[in-house]
Amino acid sequence: MGSKRKGILERLDAGEVVVGDGGYVMQLERRGYVKAGHWTPEAAVEHPEAVRQLHREFLRAGANVIQTFTFYCSEDKLEISGNVKGITGAQINEAACDMAREVANEGAALVAGGVSQTPCYVKSHSEPEVKAIFKKQMDNFMKKDIDFFIAEFFEHVEEAVWAVEVLKTSSKTIGVTLCISPHGDMDGVPPGECAVRLVKAGADIVGINCHLDPLTCVRTVKLMKAGLDKAGLKAHLMIQPLGFHTPECNLGGYVSLPEFPFALETRAMTRWDVQKYAREAYNVGIRYIGGCCGFEAYHIRAIAEELAAERGFLPPASEKHGLWGAALEMHSKPWVRARACREYWENLLPASGRPKCPSIATPADE
Amino acid sequence: MGSKRKGILERLDAGEVVVGDGGYVMQLERRGYVKAGHWTPEAAVEHPEAVRQLHREFLRAGANVIQTFTFYCSEDKLEISGNVKGITGAQINEAACDMAREVANEGAALVAGGVSQTPCYVKSHSEPEVKAIFKKQMDNFMKKDIDFFIAEFFEHVEEAVWAVEVLKTSSKTIGVTLCISPHGDMDGVPPGECAVRLVKAGADIVGINCHLDPLTCVRTVKLMKAGLDKAGLKAHLMIQPLGFHTPECNLGGYVSLPEFPFALETRAMTRWDVQKYAREAYNVGIRYIGGCCGFEAYHIRAIAEELAAERGFLPPASEKHGLWGAALEMHSKPWVRARACREYWENLLPASGRPKCPSIATPADE
Amino acid sequence: MGSKRKGILERLDAGEVVVGDGGYVMQLERRGYVKAGHWTPEAAVEHPEAVRQLHREFLRAGANVIQTFTFYCSEDKLEISGNVKGITGAQINEAACDMAREVANEGAALVAGGVSQTPCYVKSHSEPEVKAIFKKQMDNFMKKDIDFFIAEFFEHVEEAVWAVEVLKTSSKTIGVTLCISPHGDMDGVPPGECAVRLVKAGADIVGINCHLDPLTCVRTVKLMKAGLDKAGLKAHLMIQPLGFHTPECNLGGYVSLPEFPFALETRAMTRWDVQKYAREAYNVGIRYIGGCCGFEAYHIRAIAEELAAERGFLPPASEKHGLWGAALEMHSKPWVRARACREYWENLLPASGRPKCPSIATPADE
Amino acid sequence: MGSKRKGILERLDAGEVVVGDGGYVMQLERRGYVKAGHWTPEAAVEHPEAVRQLHREFLRAGANVIQTFTFYCSEDKLEISGNVKGITGAQINEAACDMAREVANEGAALVAGGVSQTPCYVKSHSEPEVKAIFKKQMDNFMKKDIDFFIAEFFEHVEEAVWAVEVLKTSSKTIGVTLCISPHGDMDGVPPGECAVRLVKAGADIVGINCHLDPLTCVRTVKLMKAGLDKAGLKAHLMIQPLGFHTPECNLGGYVSLPEFPFALETRAMTRWDVQKYAREAYNVGIRYIGGCCGFEAYHIRAIAEELAAERGFLPPASEKHGLWGAALEMHSKPWVRARACREYWENLLPASGRPKCPSIATPADE
């Protein structure tokens, strides 16, 4: 039971840094349990041991929140995708809640029930229809023991507002993140105004997830904060960016890059990139700091390590990691031993090993 | 029990393609269970569920062999490393064997007991001392139910020969791989001669693992084959290369690259790179085809998918993967749908997303 | 005598495209006649045959204007530089005028007397002192037969305004260009406002030269045009950008790039890059189109060739150049013959041949 | 008259470094006087002032030899090319000799009559026919005052041998260079054997020109030297490589690169690259050191500056160049002043400014 733990708002109100978890669908795709293109979470029922292990890795890496593996788990999405036979959305949502709770309880973590954009929104633009979908998923979660909600991956702030309005009826705390660029949402609503609308709708925590790289997402959250400040509103800030470099920074994010989704390897963040990001996010005032697609356990550990001084402790997985490469001190090659220091890794410009490839691509939607 | 399964030699003699598994230490480092610099496998005892899950991913991806997670698990290495307290090498070796067997039995896979280079060799160059270490580790394995041995990651063919000579006394089949470049081993022995020495020592399967990228390793195995042909010797060929691009191709391999071991992300192979590699390896006559550091489950699946026609079947994990990106056909963006074809992925030159980084590095040992 | 030729305003008023010449100091530095760091034009006296030849190349490539080789030829600059012994500024200015006239008369070209920023401005900010310097240089020019003035390479619009105010007293036509980025001049005055101030001061033609790459400069001129439109002002537009790629696009321009001034080779524009630029400039409404540092004769020819249809003729040097590589049709290698077409060159992404180098640098003033 | 000057062999025999000149056809193509694809030297008659100026730049930069601008000036090539109307080969050859002599006499330089590969060789393989062509061109030269011959740009050593055999009848000194890679000539004759054949045919100086980058050409000359040493033969060594980076280093050289001939800018050598090359060439024992296509005057000056200590003097053009960027000391920006030192330029990795381009290309003949 999570009931005796400090809740998410208690933590954030107290000024604590809350480390989020990493990305599930891309990592489980690589492990063989999720189908790219569909990206639906039936593995929660089909292969619970695989999902449970990934939850544990994030927990061990320092995550304070375990998100239920329920991405795209609305009835309309499952149906359109056509990938999941003989399993209902309710079954997945409920199994995912149980599993998240089980792992969260192995540490002091909280469980966040995850809700995401629906195909119905783009197709129908019908508020009652879209809200009914969110309501149904929320009802699944409310049968289980979750601590708060995260509504995420919205390209249109309007849909996110609808999600918040539905989830608000649960009286749970609500975090909400958009997958938009500094240019604004798909309807051209700038980040600052998006944040204002979400807070007015009842969100407790607002921010950005997915679609663009960490430093770009930090910039967008900064714009959200500026919008809230200007409107005299207050909310906690959260961020769960891509674990990939996307300097092209277009409206559509990494979905528009030629490498999506099967050749993103070259763009992956190193742990040192993540430390730089965690510091930047912290400096901007964001206190809920995690990752989305591309964030593996060691990236989450890098957040926890970068902010260890502020938080006063290291995560369990740091027992297997020397800070700034310290464990290389015992390597047999002298030039590798020389890398056991912060200066080396902070300044390294890693080579791609691909001399016939460019460094920047042309996004499909440019 | 593996006893009723076709053995490794039966399979290779019959001309079957045997798919190996991927890399353990680097992947488990990222998951939080192995310490870089040490790279020792105490997780087999400390966190068996994490190792078991990785075995399962490789099995599901199509691996026909599960290697025991016993890399660097010689007494001398564990002692020097100083990373493992209160656990003996025997405990790790035995736990690793049990776990590999458990997972192998969930499919039709074989278990290979893994032995690797010892620090003792470089320090002492004493044949009796080094052989005693191999003997001790072999004795651990022989208490358990393994199908054959893989002796791997040797920079000096002499040490590999000693390993083979010891393992030979078990009367098990022996595969042996060196981590050398086309230039030869660390003493300048060319690949062809290395292969000859290993086969004369009793190895049944010879080849290359780790240190350099797939196409470079294919070239080295080709040189081994040419050496055997010239000497009128016969052996099966195996390959388990890095999952990273290393065009610099120096003697010391990726250990000499500035990115080793904490910034290799940019160099990671895509699944399409792996398909190209699997085809090349097959064309050269290699029939035991797997991976080493950097090979994740989806890379192993890519081997199995590339050679599906030759083998007559797909691996279990292909139920979550459309061949050549076929599952993208149902994506909501038209430009992503257009990527649901072989031509797109085969010709893509993925951008690094890092315009301030070079494409090639200067190896430390150049 | 240029007196019977159509003047610069006549041409521009008639909607003609006027092709400017290319860069002198960088090219003559490479040829051995100008000293980098000083960049002063004493070669006009010391080695007139070298300057004359470069004038001729630009004329032959299609330039309609020959600028006097008088860059940095103010008394204060020559003195500070300390590079020129025993030659006065007046001698250089007068020799340069004679030589420009001589070559211009070999075609139907006009002569523009060139005036540029003074060190005095930054040091003293004294309007009388700076204006006295411009006055002195103008008096040199007025003894000779020039057609109009170009005041160029100003980082501060205020100094450019002063130059225009002085030159205005000559009753010659005045073109004036700033070397600023789209962000504005060094005092933060945006391009649009800069243009307004210059036209109000009496400039007939306004635009941008040097410091940034062609497409960036086109953007800046576009902003100048928008500023003029908004203010209800009219002026002709001109552009003479760098012949180097500077995607970093910082305030200080290429002077801040690590490659300045002795390693800019890799950034050089191809003739095809220039054709793209000429088209863009034309489409934006710019009619005086030339180049600055890095623009060699073949780049000027590329402007003239791109706009040949609009202008109705090709430059003399096109007798030695097949449009879009047409002359390659007679090459002995089939793959080179295949390049005798527009599609090939328009789509080529030229490799740097430098795999250890990055594609983008960090400007010194970032 | 060159008669009182020390001859080329006198100089080389005395151990002097002889600085060659740079490339004519590519540079004059950019200046508007040579047609790419044809590459014929009719400008010697049509635009002598342009050729004379380029000769002078090389002389001023330190060249000890002025090569006649007679590349591809054999009757068969001129005819096939079809580019030159109303001018005979004899006219070009003779005008070129006069002009080279005129400029050479302005310094202490020698004149080398230049002969190059003939289309006839590939078409006919007829020794009498090819030799007749060389004989005719030689006769043109012998009417004029040249100091020695350079036969250059041969892809087949056999043709070069024929050229040497013809030129030998003039009793002039003969230098001969092949445009081959370390892999050997187009018939697979290795560089060492090529050198032996050329020296046996009567060449006094042998080496490499064009087609590949400086460090690659140094490697090839080294192989030639090794071949001569092994055969117990002696000859002076010369080198006149490309001024472009060609790391792909294929058989066909830069003609096979996608960028040939109109997008080679990105590959251009900096002066610092050239200094490194000059040092390498010197260390290998080469004493005739110049350049071919891509070598401009400042590249030749860089050779002379790098070897100034060995030679005891600087070239005239160094009056306009501070060694290792020393003249930047007086620049107005502090970060540019900081570049007035050897360390800066020696270690700079220049960025391409082209993030969408690769660093290495795939040669057409790969």
Those residues of chain D that have pLDDT short of 50 are 1-2
Determine the pLDDT at residue A80.
Answer: 83
HEC string of chain D?
Answer: CCCCCCCHHHHHHCCCCEECCCCCHHHHHHHCCCCCCCCCCCHHHHCHHHHHHHHHHHHHHCCCEEECCCCCCCHHHHHHHCCCCCCCHHHHHHHHHHHHHHHHCCCCCEEEEEEECCHHHHHHCCHHHHHHHHHHHHHHHHCCCCCEEEEEEECCHHHHHHHHHHHHCCCCEEEEEECCECCECCCCCCHHHHHHHHHHHCCCEEEEECCCCHHHHHHHHHHHHHHHHHHCCCCEEEEECCCECCCCCCCCHHHHCCCCCCCCHHHECCHHHHHHHHHHHHHHCCCEECCCCCCCHHHHHHHHHHCHHHHCCCCHHHHHCCHHHHHHHHCCCHHHHCCCCHHHHHHCCCCCCCCCCCCCCCCCCC
Residues on chain D touching A358 (C-beta within 8 angstroms): 355-358
Distance from D131 to chain C by nearest Cα, in Å?
21
Note the pLDDT tens digit of each residue in B143-191: 999 999 999 999 999 999 999 999 999 999 999 999 999 999 999 999 9
Are the beta carbons of B360 and D359 separated by less than 8 Å? Answer: yes
Residues on chain D touching C118 (C-beta within 8 angstroms): none
Name the amino acid, one letter, at D134.
F
C292 assigned ligand-binding residue: yes
Show the beta-strand stretches assigned E in chain B: 18-19, 65-67, 110-116, 148-154, 173-178, 205-209, 236-240, 288-289
Note the pLDDT tens digit of each residue in D169-193: 999 999 999 999 999 999 999 999 9
Choose among A351, A356, A359: nearest Cβ to C359: A359
Are the beta carbons of A349 and C355 separated by less than 8 Å? Answer: no
Are the beta carbons of A350 and B272 separated by less than 8 Å? Answer: no
Determine the pLDDT at residue B101.
Answer: 98
Can you give the C-alpha Rg of chain B in angstroms? 20
Note the pLDDT tens digit of each residue in A322-338: 999 999 998 888 999 99
Distance from B245 to chain C by nearest Cα, in Å?
14
Going by pLDDT thresholds of 50, 70 and 90, the confidence category of residue A75 is confident
Are the beta carbons of A359 and D360 separated by less than 8 Å? Answer: no
Residues on chain D touching B359 (C-beta within 8 angstroms): 358-360
Average pLDDT, chain B: 95
Distance from D359 to chain A by nearest Cα, in Å?
5
Are the beta carbons of C297 and D49 separated by less than 8 Å? Answer: no
Which site among C359, C360, C362, C366 would you substitute to test the B interface, given the most B Cβ atoms closer than 10 Å to its Cβ? C359
Q: What are phi and psi of B181, to 5 degrees?
A: -95, 175
C-alpha to C-alpha distance for C178 and C152, rounded to whole angstroms:
6
Residues on chain A touching D266 (C-beta within 8 angstroms): none
Determine the pLDDT at residue A1.
Answer: 40
Determine the pLDDT at residue D83.
Answer: 80
Distance from B342 to chain D by nearest Cα, in Å?
21
Q: Which residues make Cβ contacts (< 8 Å) with residue B162, sequence separation at least 6?
A: B121, B127, B130, B131, B134
Choose among C349, C355, C356: nearest Cβ to A358: C349
Choose among D56, D271, D350: nearest Cβ to C357: D350
Residues on chain C touching D60 (C-beta within 8 angstroms): 32
Are the beta carbons of A358 and D362 separated by less than 8 Å? Answer: no
Q: Is the pTM of this model over 0.80?
A: yes
Determine the pLDDT at residue B76.
Answer: 86
C-alpha to C-alpha distance for A271 and A295, rounded to whole angstroms:
10
Q: What are phi and psi of A358, to 5 degrees?
A: -80, 175
Residues on chain D touching C317 (C-beta within 8 angstroms): 32-33
Are the beta carbons of D359 and B355 separated by less than 8 Å? Answer: no
CA dihedral D267→D270→D272→D276, nearest 10 degrees, is 40
| Residues belonging to chain C with any Cβ–Cβ distance to chain B shorter than 8 Å | 355-362
Distance from C156 to chain D by nearest Cα, in Å?
15
| Closest-approach residue (CA) in chain A for B81 | A330
Determine the pLDDT at residue B2.
Answer: 42
Choose among D351, D356, D359: nearest Cβ to B359: D359
Interface size, chain A vs chain B, as Cβ–Cβ contacts under 8 Å: 272
Are the beta carbons of A355 and C359 separated by less than 8 Å? Answer: no
Are the beta carbons of D355 and A359 separated by less than 8 Å? Answer: yes
C-alpha to C-alpha distance for C323 and C308, rounded to whole angstroms:
10
Determine the pLDDT at residue C1.
Answer: 40
Determine the pLDDT at residue A2.
Answer: 42
Are the beta carbons of A349 and C360 separated by less than 8 Å? Answer: no
ipTM: 0.96
Choose among D349, D355, D358: nearest Cβ to B349: D358
Residues on chain B touching A85 (C-beta within 8 angstroms): none
| Chains touching A by CB (3 or more pairs below 8 Å) | B, C, D
Distance from D228 to chain C by nearest Cα, in Å?
32
Residues on chain D touching B362 (C-beta within 8 angstroms): none
| Residues belonging to chain C with any Cβ–Cβ distance to chain A shorter than 8 Å | 349, 351, 355-356, 358-360
| Closest-approach residue (CA) in chain D for C245 | D353
Are the beta carbons of D361 and A356 separated by less than 8 Å? Answer: yes
Are the beta carbons of C350 and D325 separated by less than 8 Å? Answer: no
Are the beta carbons of D356 and A358 separated by less than 8 Å? Answer: yes
Those residues of chain C that have pLDDT short of 50 are 1-2
Choose among A349, A355, A358: nearest Cβ to C355: A355
Distance from D324 to chain C by nearest Cα, in Å?
10
Are the beta carbons of C356 and B361 separated by less than 8 Å? Answer: yes
Note the pLDDT tens digit of each residue in B72-94: 998 888 888 888 889 999 999 99
Choose among C30, C57, C213: nearest Cβ to D296: C30
Q: Which residues make Cβ contacts (< 8 Å) with residue C132, sequence separation at least 6?
A: none
C-alpha to C-alpha distance for B41 and B28, rounded to whole angstroms:
9
Compute CA distances D75 → D109, D131, D151, whole Å: 28, 12, 16
Q: Binding site: which residues of A?
A: 210, 292-293
| Chains touching C by CB (3 or more pairs below 8 Å) | A, B, D
Determine the pLDDT at residue C2.
Answer: 43
| Residues belonging to chain B with any Cβ–Cβ distance to chain C shorter than 8 Å | 355-362
Are the beta carbons of A355 and D359 separated by less than 8 Å? Answer: yes
| Residues belonging to chain B with any Cβ–Cβ distance to chain D shorter than 8 Å | 349, 351, 355-356, 358-360
C-alpha to C-alpha distance for D329 and D327, rounded to whole angstroms:
5
Q: Binding site for Zn(2+): which residues of A?
A: 210, 292-293
Residues on chain D touching C321 (C-beta within 8 angstroms): 29, 32, 35-36
How many residues are there in chain A? 366
As given in the structure block, the two tokens for residue C359 are 């594609």
Distance from A22 to chain C by nearest Cα, in Å?
30
Determine the pLDDT at residue A79.
Answer: 85
C341 assigned ligand-binding residue: no
Interface size, chain A vs chain C, as Cβ–Cβ contacts under 8 Å: 10
| Continuous segment of H or E residues that includes residue B278 | helix B271-284
* Cα D90–Cα D96–Cα D100 angle in degrees, nearest 5: 150
pLDDT tens-digit profile, chain B (366 residues):
345 789 999 999 999 999 999 999 999 999 999 999 999 999 999 999 999 999 999 999 999 999 999 999 988 888 888 888 899 999 999 999 999 999 999 999 999 999 999 999 999 999 999 999 999 999 999 999 999 999 999 999 999 999 999 999 999 999 999 999 999 999 999 999 999 999 999 999 999 999 999 999 999 999 999 999 999 999 999 999 999 999 998 888 999 999 999 999 999 999 999 999 999 999 999 999 999 999 999 999 999 999 999 999 999 999 999 999 999 998 888 999 999 999 999 999 999 999 999 999 999 876
Are the beta carbons of C265 and D60 separated by less than 8 Å? Answer: no
